[in-house]
């Protein structure tokens, strides 16, 4: 898919673990893994909003079109 | 799920009873083909009474027999689909594949039932007849096409389910 997920990089910058993020935004680690590996077919606005709020970033920082 | 269990029980019983008849029918047809006799037992297949046995009748009889076996295979596939439903695996590739196979099998079965019977009527009675109403040929044809459409519907459902599962 031409859209890449830069969640790993941002998590590393924030020194946060995947399970911590999953816990804070209220999704399962399995679903977060789907998102991180680029297997996800869609992302809900509510999830994106929660990620941006928790990681204090913009949607564009997480999603990148290549 | 109670309705599903009732349907599964009926189909299972029908399947067991049909399976019991299969060896008997095969033996009977074997005798007819080899020996040209039906031991005085009237042989009626798909509403046609076979009285004399020649090359044409034998071919029609074999076609009817294959059609019967194909119908049984369709029932077997239906049984498997119901089992999948019981496991609540409704939108699985197995279900849509089974529906597609059932459709194909029923279409072939309909053609093997309808065309030879029609030809036999013309050949044996040497007259053209028109029959109105719900014939088994038309019913099987419609069921075959319906199952093929159902397979497409289940494929769409499967796709939607997959998308839903991969939505974070």
For B71-102, how does the pLDDT look when each residue is reduced to its tens digit (9 = 90+)? Answer: 899 999 999 999 999 998 899 999 999 999 99
Calculate mean pLDDT across residues A13-21. 91
Tell me which of A33-47, B17-31, B86-100, B138-152 is least confident: B17-31
**Mean pLDDT on B38-66:** 71
Q: Please check whether residue A30 is in contact with residue A18, taking contact to mean a CB–CB distance below 8 angstroms.
A: no
Q: Is the pLDDT of residue B43 over 70?
A: no
**What residues in B contact A41, CB-CB < 8 Å?**
162-163, 166-167
Six-digit token pair at A18? 């995947």
pLDDT in tens, B134-143: 777 888 899 9
Query: Model confidence over A19-31: pLDDT tens digits?
Result: 999 999 999 999 9
Mean pLDDT for all residues in chain B: 84
Distance CA B63, CA B113 (A): 7
pLDDT value for B26? 80
Lowest model confidence (mean pLDDT) among A49-58, B4-13, B27-36, B66-75: B27-36
**SS3 of residue A4 by DSSP:** strand
Q: Work out the widest C-alpha separation in chain A, in whole angstroms.
A: 30
Query: How far away is chain A from the Cα of B27, in angstroms, using its nearest Cα?
Result: 56
ipTM above 0.90, yes or no: no
Cβ distance B162 to A34 less than 8 Å, yes or no, reads no
- Distance spanning both ends of chain A, measured CA to CA: 9
Which of the four pLDDT bands, split at 50, 70 and 90, describes residue B125? low
Highest mean pLDDT among B32-36, B59-63, B89-93: B89-93
Q: According to the model, what pLDDT value does residue A10 have?
A: 92
Which residues on neighbouring strands pair with residue A64, listed in sequence order?
A4
Chain A residues with at least one Cβ partner in B under 8 Å: 27, 31-32, 34-35, 39-44, 47
């Amino acid at each position: 898919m031409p859209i890449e997920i830069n969640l790993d990089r941002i998590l590393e910058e924030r020194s946060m673990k995947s399970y911590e993020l999953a816990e804070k935004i209220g999704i399962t680690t399995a679903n977060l893994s789907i998102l991180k590996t680029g297997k996800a077919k869609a992302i809900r606005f509510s999830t994106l909003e929660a990620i941006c709020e928790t990681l204090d970033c913009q949607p564009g920082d997480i999603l990148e079109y290549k | 799920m109670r309705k599903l269990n009732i349907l599964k029980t009926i189909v299972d019983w029908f399947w067991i009873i049909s399976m019991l008849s299969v060896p008997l029918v095969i033996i009977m047809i074997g005798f007819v083909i080899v020996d040209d006799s039906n031991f005085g037992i009237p042989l009626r297949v798909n509403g046609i009474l076979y009285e004399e046995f020649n090359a044409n009748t034998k071919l029609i009889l074999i076609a009817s027999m294959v059609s019967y076996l194909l119908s049984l295979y369709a029932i077997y596939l239906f049984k498997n689909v119901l089992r999948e439903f019981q496991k609540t695996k409704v939108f699985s590739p197995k279900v849509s594949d089974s529906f597609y196979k059932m459709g194909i099998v029923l279409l072939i079965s309909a053609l093997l039932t309808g065309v030879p019977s029609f030809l036999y009527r013309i050949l044996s009675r040497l007259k053209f007849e028109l029959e109105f109403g719900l014939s088994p040929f038309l019913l099987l044809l419609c069921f075959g096409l319906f199952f093929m459409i159902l397979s497409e519907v289940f494929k769409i459902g499967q796709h939607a389910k997959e998308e839903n599962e991969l939505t974070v």
